[in-house]
Amino acid sequence: MTDSAESPVQPDSEVSASAVPEAATASAADRHPDFHAGFVAFVGRPNAGKSTLMNALVGEKVAITSAKPQTTRRAIRGILTADAGQIVVVDTPGLHRPRTLLGQRLNDIVEAELDGVDVVCVCLPADEAIGPGDRRIIEQVGRHPRAKRVALLTKTDRVRPDDVAARLIEIDALAEWATLIPVSAVTDDQVDVVRDELIRLLPASQQLYDAETHTEDSIEVRAAELIREAMLEDVRDELPHSLAVVIDDVEAPEAEGGVTKIYASVFVERDSQKGIIIGRGGQRLKAFGTAARKQIEQLIGGRVHLDLRVKVAKEWQTSPKLLDRLGF
């Protein structure tokens, strides 16, 4: 976790100092006498809507999302700066009973983050019953008493208002919450309430990042995630879990306005999966590549040539050596 005063400007958002107006360089904390700032972890079952809500709060897609569980595999920081405070959201992988070494490592990532945050938001989807998995997560969060505990009832647009009320009563009885908020990231209902309440719960502090910074992640890491996202929605069964993407090389354009070349490897666990990803005559891989390229072009604000290679890393989810190589 960073405690530096200001993060470096991302290379893609470099602006010349002379182009920045005076007011924009003064931190929000300088202007606000009662500024709050700190770290807020989002935890919950896979697919609870954590990453979607973080993106809605930050106002930018800093994490990929999908209907497939375990989309998030890292702790991703998304930074929101308002007049009254700055929230560093730490989005985490969905907590679940691990079946592989990868699953264990994802849970370990969450556990490690819980120690360093000021607030923990347990995300509970309104369209699913509260189950033993949620209770386990609440217990786990309770073992880190330094952080204030918040319950977020997510995806409220998916159920009737009566059901929201009943679910809130149920959640209220589960633990001592600092606050409990129903929210829909998709219809932008109560996202502002979540923002204001979280700022209120954070300690009085200086601004931690400059206001233009929305994430610490590099362009390479975000591009790899966008490639995985493009493939996630369209593949079935165990394949989403088997996918990993690594950026091998990025070649900057030779001239301004030129094409950035990105070379990436898509790893699957078995030969049969390689065929599924590539598709007949390479059609499927081409479609994934096009979808991912468009997203990456938006991210870097320029044209991209994307070179995707599909490779097999046998049973990488259970191999300590391969997990290390793939960055887990």
Interface contacts to ligand GTP, rule CB under 6 A = 44, 46-52, 65-67, 69-72, 93-94, 154-155, 157-158, 184-186
Shortest reach from residue 192's CB to Mg ion, in Å: 21
- Phi and psi torsions of 326, nearest 5°: -85, 0
Task: Write the interaction track for Mg ion spanning residues 12-51; mark x where CB under 5 A is met and - where it is not.
Answer: --------------------------------------xx
Task: Write the interaction track for Mg ion spanning residues 72-111; mark x where CB under 5 A is met and - where it is not.
Answer: x---------------------------------------
The rounded Cα 127 to chain-centroid distance in angstroms is 21
Options 69-77, 164-172, 269-277, 282-290: segment touching Mg ion (CB under 5 A): 69-77
Q: Given the complex with Mg ion, which of 38 and 93 has the nearer CB atom?
A: 93
CA distances from 192 to 110, 181, 263 (A): 25, 11, 39
**158 interface partner picked from Mg ion, ligand GTP, none, CB below 5 to 8 A per type:** ligand GTP
Tell me the three state secondary structure of residue 112.
helix
Cβ–Cβ under 8 Å, residues 71 and 229: yes
**Residue length, the chain?**
328
Q: Given the complex with ligand GTP, which of 46 and 302 has the nearer CB atom?
A: 46
**57 interface partner picked from ligand GTP, Mg ion, none, CB below 5 to 8 A per type:** none
Say which residues have a Cβ less than 8 Å from residue 97's Cβ, sequence separation at least 6.
103, 133
Shortest reach from residue 33's CB to Mg ion, in Å: 36
Cβ-closest residue to ligand GTP?
94
**240 interface partner picked from Mg ion, ligand GTP, none, CB below 5 to 8 A per type:** none
DSSP assignment, residue 258? Answer: -
Shortest reach from residue 211's CB to ligand GTP, in Å: 25
Q: What are the E-state strand segments in 92-236?
A: 119-125, 148-154, 179-182
User: How does 52-63 read in b/e, with b if 16+ C-beta sit within 10 Å?
Assistant: bbbbbbbeebbb
Give the position of tokens 């019953």.
129
Helices (H), 131-160: 132-142
**295 interface partner picked from Mg ion, ligand GTP, none, CB below 5 to 8 A per type:** none
Residues that bind Mg ion in the complex, under the rule CB under 5 A: 50-51, 71-72
